Amino acid sequence: MTAPPASITYASVVSRESVRIAFVLAALNGLEIEVADIGNAYLNAPTNEKIVITCGLEFRAQFKGRLAKIVRAQYGLKGSGQAWRSHLDKVLLDDENLGFHMCKADNDVWYRPATKPDGTKYYECILVHTDDILCLSMNPKSILDYLDQRFPSLNPEGNQRPI
């Protein structure tokens, strides 16, 4: 066993100041705001660590004592927060339908250029607080619906959505 570096043991959280600025920008630009929670977020991300466990009775009696390899980030593992964040970063950056850019001032703020129906240009924003997402846009529901396809357990406004 090796001790994990401190840089991978903390979950990523947007700053209060960024949230306040986002609310002001939404109000000034007439944008809608929606929030969503990605349920079981860590389980969407592959683990960065090599972890092997000995199965107990929770894996049924036939598997008790066998070795199993953990391939998904699990709640409670030191590197799970960093694994989830890396996975979310990849989706927001690399997905051709999203194309968000990370803000240099706050790595938990993501933005992309957009245009209102009247031709006015603005920025759509996503703010990330571990597995909670705050989305600012003329149509934030479309962004969250797309993310719902990428992360099946996304629950806007805390409501259960069908998978």
Domain extents in the chain: 9-46+78-156
* Local structure of residue 13 (DSSP, 8 states): B
pLDDT at 33: 96
Residues in CB range of 7: below 8 A, 6 or more apart = 82
Residue 110's alpha-carbon distances to 64, 85, 124, 155, in angstroms, are 45, 13, 8, 20
What is the value of pTM for the model shown?
Answer: 0.77
Cα dihedral angle (74, 76, 81, 87), rounded to 10 degrees?
0
pLDDT at 121: 96
pLDDT at 135: 96
For 7-57, the pLDDT digits (tens) are: 555 667 899 999 999 999 999 999 999 999 887 777 777 777 787 889 998
For 103-141, the pLDDT digits (tens) are: 999 999 999 999 999 999 999 999 999 888 999 999 999
pLDDT confidence band for 3 (50 / 70 / 90): low
For 58-89, the pLDDT digits (tens) are: 888 888 999 988 877 777 777 777 888 888 88
Whether residue 157 is predicted with pLDDT greater than 60 in this model: the reply is no
* Local structure of residue 60 (DSSP, 8 states): -
Whether residue 6 is predicted with pLDDT greater than 80 in this model: the reply is no
pLDDT at 1: 55
Alpha carbon distance 98, 93 (integer Å): 7
Give the residue with greater pLDDT, 155 vs 141. 141
pLDDT at 74: 74
Residues 144 and 156 sit within 8 Å (Cβ to Cβ): yes
pLDDT at 50: 81
